[in-house]
Every structure is written in C-alpha cells, then in structure tokens.
Amino acid sequence: MTATEAILALVDDRALSADIDRVVAAAGVRIVRATDPSSHRVWTGASAVLLDTAAAQRCAARGLPRRPRVLLISGDAPGPDEWEAAVAVGAQQVVTLPSGDHELMAELADATEAARHTGLRGPVVAVLAGRGGGGASVFATAVAKVATEALLIDGDPWGGGLDLVLGSETEPGLRWPDLSLAGGRVGFSALRDALPTRHGVYVLSGSRALSGTHSSNDIDAAALGAVIDAGSRGGVTVVCDVARRPTPASETAVASADLVVLVTPADVRSCAAAAATAQWVAGGNPNAGVVVRGPSPGGLRSVDVARIVGLPVLASMRPQPGIDTLLERGGLRVRPHSPLARAAREVLAVLSQSPQLEAAAEAVA
C-alpha cells in the first residue's frame, strides 16, 4: 500500500466546494471528497485535510487525533465560530477563498510533494471473533504468516498470548508488560529489534498470568496506537488480534485498521453473537467484513451469514485438518494450499485492491 497523495475534502458548502475545485485544478493535485472520514486511518493518511466550519465541528466531536496540514476553509473573513472550530479540530490555518487562492494552492502542492517522499505505509488489519472461541487469534496469525513481512500484535489481554499460537513463546524479546511508551511515538526499527520473531513474523504478545502470579497484560490504548503506527510506517503488514469487547484498546485497533475482519463459525448462534459484535465494530470503522468458518451444521450459506451478521463476506473456509494438534505442538503452520492459507490470501487480496483513502471515501459516499 502506497502513501496516499490525495487531499481529503470534508466540505458541505457548495460555494466553497466550487472554489476548492478551482484551486485543486490549478494546483494539479488529487482530491477525495467525503462527508466524514470513515476511520482514523483515512483522517491520518491523507496528505492534507480541508474542512469547512460544520465539518470541523463534527471531526472535533469525534475526537480525531491531531495531525499536520489541516486547513479550515472559509468563504468570508473568519469570525468567532470559525476560529473556535479551527482550534477544536487542531487546524494549522484558516484560509479565506477566493482571496486566499494562491495560499491554498501552495499548501496543497507542498502537502502532495511531502506525501510522495514519505515512503510506503503498510496495511493494517484488525481481526476479532464474532463470539468467544471463534478463531480470531488463529486467523490473525495465519494472515501474518501469509503476508511477506508482518508485525503481529496481541490486542486481547484475555487470549492467553499470541506467542503460543505462533510458537514463539520460548523466543527472547519484548512482551506487552515490558513496553512503556506512555503514548509516545516509537520507531519500527527499534521495535523490530526488540521483538521476538518467527518465520518472518514479529510478534508483540502478552505474557501469561499463571496461578499465584500477579502479571498484568492490560494494554494501554495510546501505546497500542503507537505500535500500530510504527509498523505501518515501517512498511510491513500490521495484524492486530483484537478483543471482542469494546475497550479503549480494542476501539483504537478497530479505528486504526484499513480492514476489520470478523471471524465467525457458520452456525446460527455464532452468527447471532457476531451480529452484536458487528454493530460496535461498524460504528468504529465501516471497512469491515466477515470470514466464515465451516462446516455449517444447519446448512447456512455465506450469503445467509452475511445477512445475519450485516457485513459482507470476505472469505469462506473449510475446517483446517489437525489444527488443534498443531497448536499444541510448536505453533501454527500454514501450508500454502490449506483452508487457512487460502482464506488469509483472500483477505489480503481484498485489502490490496484499492488505496485506503479511495476505498474509504466510497464507503462513506
């Protein structure tokens, strides 16, 4: 996935939109329009963001993170409402059109040029189960192993540790209890060197709280966001196994993802539970779909699962032979033609079909 050079325009005012179109055409840059950003990734991924006052107020109310190159566009000299909205959303400038045409043109050209030199950003996938024991940890690990290079993040403090699924529990390196970022930024090269690795997958896992110990795997949402961002800036595929309950950490992972994958077995009870999970997932990120795990004891088809859960089906998979034995003896091995490998490749193919900003803009249109 390449770093986007597109300008994100969140402008309801038609007259301002026409003025912006004129400036964009003169600057020769690419623009994507939406009513609201569909996720935090869309907001942070654009080379610049243009807002009118109403859009700035909506984005501020959503608590979107501060980012550079946010411009509030006004048709008249800015008054108290415009300045208040600009401060609330963290805009660096208020530009009045048409008198500020040249100023806006220069800002857009600079933003686009800067985006061309930021390098590649890796895609981010959040995986969670529709119900308890639905197979999210196994599928997240499979996606990471099928990707060329991946950072696998354990975002479920109740999951027992992804290193057990990957088979890296004896490898030395950093675990969640050892990491203290306090919301700060971290470079991927430093993170990569500190993490355990197995077969091209870097893993940040929790540790196990055994009987009589007081270990804690609580995950700080800001630290999780910093680790996800580090992996993406490092150009690797970031796969986050997410707890199926809404917590600040799980909501951060869902909002940060280019694609959210909900894994559900193909039975009525599991699909009913997945439908409830899908409601809060779609509220945090509409770029979501279902991976259906067979077999279906009642004959549910993929189209039936999609209808019950309320999300499109990304992949359907047959049972994985011998999966329980593999997990007990050295961790998951994903053979190229196995059901897990095929489903993981289908999810990665969906992720790579179009740039994140364009896909997300279509989703909110």
Residue range 14-41: mean pLDDT, rounded? 86
Q: Where in the chain is the domain with CATH 3.40.50.2300?
A: 7-116
> Is residue 3 over pLDDT 90?
no
**Residues 311, 301: Cα–Cα separation, whole Å:** 14
Dihedral of CA 288/293/294/297: which sign? negative
3-state DSSP assignment of residue 117: coil
Q: How many CB atoms lie within 10 A of CB 184?
A: 9
DSSP state of 75: S
Q: What is the model's pLDDT at position 360?
A: 33
**What average pLDDT does the chain have?**
84
Confidence of residue 364 (pLDDT cuts 50, 70, 90): very low
Average the pLDDT over each of 52-61, 94-103, 160-169, 235-244 and give the range with the smallest value. Answer: 160-169
Which segment of 16-20, 24-28, 89-93 scores lowest on mean pLDDT?
24-28
Q: Where in the chain is the domain with CATH 3.40.50.300?
A: 124-355
Residue 356: what pLDDT? 42
The better pLDDT of the pair 308, 212 is held by: 308
pLDDT at 344: 94
What does the pLDDT average to over 214-240?
Answer: 84
For residue range 228-272, what is the model confidence (pLDDT) as tens digits? Answer: 988 988 889 999 999 988 899 999 999 889 899 999 999 999 999
What kind and span of H or E run contains 288? strand 288-293
Distance CA 356, CA 354 (A): 6
- What pLDDT digit, counting tens, does each position of 93-152 carry? 999 999 999 899 888 888 877 776 555 678 899 999 988 877 899 999 999 999 989 999
| DSSP 8-state secondary structure symbol assigned to residue 170 | T
Q: Is the pLDDT of residue 365 over 60?
A: no
pLDDT at 142: 92
CATH classification (class only), 124-355: alpha beta
- Whether the pLDDT of residue 362 is over 60: the answer is no
**In a 10 Å sphere around its CB, with 0-12 CB exposed, 13-18 middle and 19+ buried, how is residue 172 labelled?**
exposed
Task: Quote the percentage of the chain above a pLDDT of 70.
Answer: 90
Q: Look at residue 70 in the predicted model and tell me its pLDDT.
A: 94
Q: Are the C-beta atoms of residues 123 and 260 closer than 8 Å to each other?
A: no
Nearest to 140 by CA among 150, 153, 127: 127
Residue 28 has pLDDT above 50, yes or no: yes
Determine the pLDDT at residue 2.
41
pLDDT band at 195 (very low <50, low <70, confident <90, very high): very high
288-293 β-sheet, strand order: 197-198, 201-204, 150-155, 237-242, 124-129, 259-265, 288-293, 313-317
Q: How far is CA 101 from CA 46, 75, 312, in A?
A: 20, 11, 43
Q: Which of 210, 215, 241, 214 is nearest to 228 (CA)?
A: 241
CA distances (Å), 113 to each of 5, 51, 204, 233, 331, in order?
Answer: 8, 20, 34, 18, 45
Scanning the structure block, which residue is given the tokens 């907001």? 43
Going from the C-alpha of 165 to that of each of 33, 211, 300, 302, the distances in angstroms are 42, 21, 29, 27
84-88, 159-163, 179-183, 209-213: which is most confident: 84-88
Is pLDDT of 20 > 80? yes
What pLDDT, on the 0 to 100 scale, is given for residue 49? Answer: 94
pLDDT score of 334: 82
Query: Based on the number of CB atoms within 10 Å of its own CB, is 185 exposed (0-12), middle (13-18) or buried (19 or more)?
Result: exposed
Q: Where are the alpha helices (DSSP H) in the chain?
A: 14-27, 40-45, 53-61, 80-89, 101-116, 136-146, 162-166, 188-194, 221-233, 248-256, 268-284, 302-309, 323-328, 339-352, 356-364
Least confident of 80-94, 197-211, 246-260, 329-343: 197-211
Q: Is the model's pLDDT at 358 over the cut of 50?
A: no
Band (210; pLDDT cuts 50, 70, 90): low
In this structure, CATH architecture of domain 7-116:
3-Layer(aba) Sandwich (3.40)
